Amino acid sequence: MTEASIIDGKGFAAGLRERVSRVAADFEAKAGRKAGLAVVLVGEDPASQVYVRNKNKQTVACGMNSFEHKLPVETPEADLLALVEKLNADPAVDGILVQLPLPSHMNEQKVIATINPDKDVDGFHVVNVGRLATGLPGFVPCTPLGCVMLLKDKLGSLSGLDAVVIGRSNIVGKPMAQLLLAESCTVTIAHSRTRDLPAVVRRADIVVAAVGRAEMVKGDWIKPGATVIDVGINRLPPAEGETKGKLVGDVDFASASQVAGAITPVPGGVGPMTIAVLLRNTVVAAHRNAGIGLDENAI
């Protein structure tokens, strides 16, 4: 079997950010202000802090305003809801992202429901979930949209292909399945109760792994030539002499890349796409909310 080609998510994301930068400059010229993204982080989870810092840097690098709000972990839920309401009303803010997970004393659904759906660049609000399910324009969650962009870039049309999504979370698995269905794939959603997962995965032309279990999907589960998208971000315990453990996906890259036709690496695959799509959604939100026309498919 020949080695799989490596899908360069990092490179594709850089190209997408370049297109976003051009559109953001055009928006500024037309609207007389920069597009703006507000990111809210509650608590001090070190991994979340890294993501939020990266988002801020890349937002500014694309010519948009970044409004960072850091709240202490013990913040009452009512204070977070009040901040979201303030951002909803702020005309300089086009997109709002509340970093998940939230501390356990907060109700995530309630917080997401408070975000104005037209500023919900994560696509997590029920209104956007419903729009995606019924095929109406809205905002689509960044990670699955990034995965579909990589798939279409690699394969062209996805019509008629068998796709298996492993994982059924609201932020990755379910919207991923909806997007693949909209591309006319035959979609199977697998999860922790699925019987004989290896046999289910072996049928797939497209495998999307979003499980949160390091290197769970093995090479002998993959149909030869299939395209494998690895969403998982897992940190292994540090090996001897390492201070930080290695970052790995939900797919056993060493064995899967011997069988697959194409595969995304971790890091450098889906992760960078997530942030680039967030910036894309923000510049799209800015145009929609200001009533300025934009060819969204050209970004």
Ligand X SMILES: NC(=O)C1=CN([C@@H]2O[C@H](COP(=O)(O)OP(=O)(O)OC[C@H]3O[C@@H](n4cnc5c(N)ncnc54)[C@H](OP(=O)(O)O)[C@@H]3O)[C@@H](O)[C@H]2O)C=CC1
Which residues, 6+ apart, have CB-to-CB distance to 12 below 8 Å?
Answer: 149, 150, 153, 273, 276
How many other C-beta atoms are found inside a 10 Å radius of the C-beta of residue 105?
10
Helix boundaries (H) for 230-290: 253-256, 270-290
Stretch binding ligand X (CB under 6 A), from 130-138, 152-160, 206-214, 255-263:
206-214
> By CB under 6 A, how many residues form the interface with ligand GUE?
17
How large is the angle between the packed helices 142-155 and 173-182, nearest 10 degrees? 40
- Residue 212 binds ligand X (CB under 6 A): yes
In the list ligand GUE, ligand X, none, the entry touching 247 (Cβ below 5 to 8 angstroms by class) is: ligand GUE
What DSSP character marks residue 99?
A: -
Contact residue for ligand X among 197, 204, 206, 276 (CB under 6 A)? 197
Tokens matching residue 178: 């909806």
Q: Name the one residue in this structure whose structure tokens are 């408070």.
A: 114
HSE-CB of 256 using CA atoms within 13 angstroms: 29
Active-site choice (34, 58, 119, 122):
122
Q: Which of residues 106-145 bind ligand X (CB under 6 A)?
A: 143
Closer Cβ to ligand GUE, 107 or 159, answer by number: 107
Are 112 and 84 in contact by the 8 Å Cβ rule? The answer is no
Binding site partner of 75, from ligand X, ligand GUE, none, Cβ cut-off 5-8 A by kind:
none
Q: Looking at 94, 99, 119, 120, which residue is catalytic?
A: 99
120, 128 Cβ separation under 8 angstroms: yes
State the nearest-atom distance from the C-beta of 92 to ligand GUE, in Å.
20
> How far apart are alpha carbons 255 and 204 in whole angstroms?
17
Residues flagged as binding site for NADP(+): 167-169, 233
In the region spanning residues 117 to 176, those forming contacts with ligand GUE, defined by CB under 6 A, are: 122, 142
Please indicate whether residue 153 is annotated as part of the active site: no
Q: Which contiguous run of DSSP H or E holds residue 189?
A: strand 186-190
The answer to whether 97 contacts ligand GUE (rule: CB under 6 A) is yes
- Choose between 1 and 126: whose C-beta lies nearer to ligand GUE: 126
Q: Contact letters (x/-) for ligand X, 37-56, by CB under 6 A?
A: --------------------
Q: How far is CA 240 from the centre of its chain?
A: 33
Q: Which residues contact 299 (CB under 8 A, 6 or more apart)?
A: 16, 19, 20, 23, 280, 283, 284
- Among 154, 168, 203, 218, the residue binding ligand X under the rule CB under 6 A is 168
Annotated binding site: 167-169, 233
Single residue of 21, 56, 88, 234 touching ligand X by CB under 6 A: 234
Question: What type of residue is 279?
Answer: L
Percentages of the chain per state (helix, strand, coil), in multiples of 5: 45, 15, 40
Active site residue 55: yes
Of the pair 34, 271, the CB lying nearest ligand X is at 271
* Residue numbers at the binding site for ligand X (CB under 6 A): 143, 166-169, 171-173, 190-194, 197, 210-213, 231-234, 270-271, 274
Q: Which residues belong to the active site?
A: 55, 99, 122
